[in-house]
Amino acid sequence: MMNPSQAMVPAAPQGLASIWHAHNVVMCRRKVFALAPTFEIFDAQGTPLVYCQEKLFKIKDDIRIYADSSKKVELLVIRQRNIMDWAGLFDVVDPATNQKIGALRRKGWRSFLRDEWHILDVNDQQVGVILETGSAFLRRIFKFLPYAFSFSLGGQEVGTFTQHFAFFTYKATMDISPWQAGPYDRRLAFAGALLLMAVEAKADASR
């Protein structure tokens, strides 16, 4: 059954749904000084593609991705499955059908040393990994160092997520050029990028 709050926001028309497949390289930004965690994704030319603003004071994370800052057209939903799930298991849902397209699960204790997420299919079977690359140990000591992640499906790298060094802003580039047509929905890559930014935002807030 559809959540009543979902019914108030129309899902994306067919034209907007193509953004997940039309862009291989996107720019990801977080508004550092926003009251609520706010994330945006742009194409390579700087044109806005999606807008996301987390709700404050939620017991479980419920992240809604919209076509723009008006939040009138909903494109994707990322929903934490369990309140007590410390590691973090997030269902990725198509708001047009309210059907799960996959899930992302953070590996809890293992992520203290090197952040790791598992990409799951609709049946919660692991099909891929989002793994922190580079000097993860140094970044645990020097929190200002930027990070990078590799996206893999079936043991093959299909994308990268690279944060850029900056003192007063947050910017990153995601390149999923190798993640083309296949059995696993490309929207999982965008959901992964937004979750990486959301986790970093929480870490920054606690420092």
Provide the 10 A C-beta neighbour count for residue 12. Answer: 21
Of 16, 17, 39, the residue nearest 28 (C-alpha):
39
Ordered mean pLDDT values, 10 residues apiece, the chain (207 residues): 44 64 93 80 93 70 89 92 74 93 84 85 96 82 84 96 84 95 90 91 66
Class of the 4-206 domain?
mainly beta
What are the domain boundaries of the chain? 4-206
Q: From CA 119, how far away is CA 155, in angstroms rounded? A: 12
Instruction: Write out the DSSP string of 43-102.
Output: ETTS-EEEEEEPPTT-SS-EEEEESSTT--SEEEEEEE--TT-SS-EEEEEETTTTEEEE
What is the model's pLDDT at position 145? 82
pTM for the whole thing? 0.84
- What pLDDT, on the 0 to 100 scale, is given for residue 13? 52
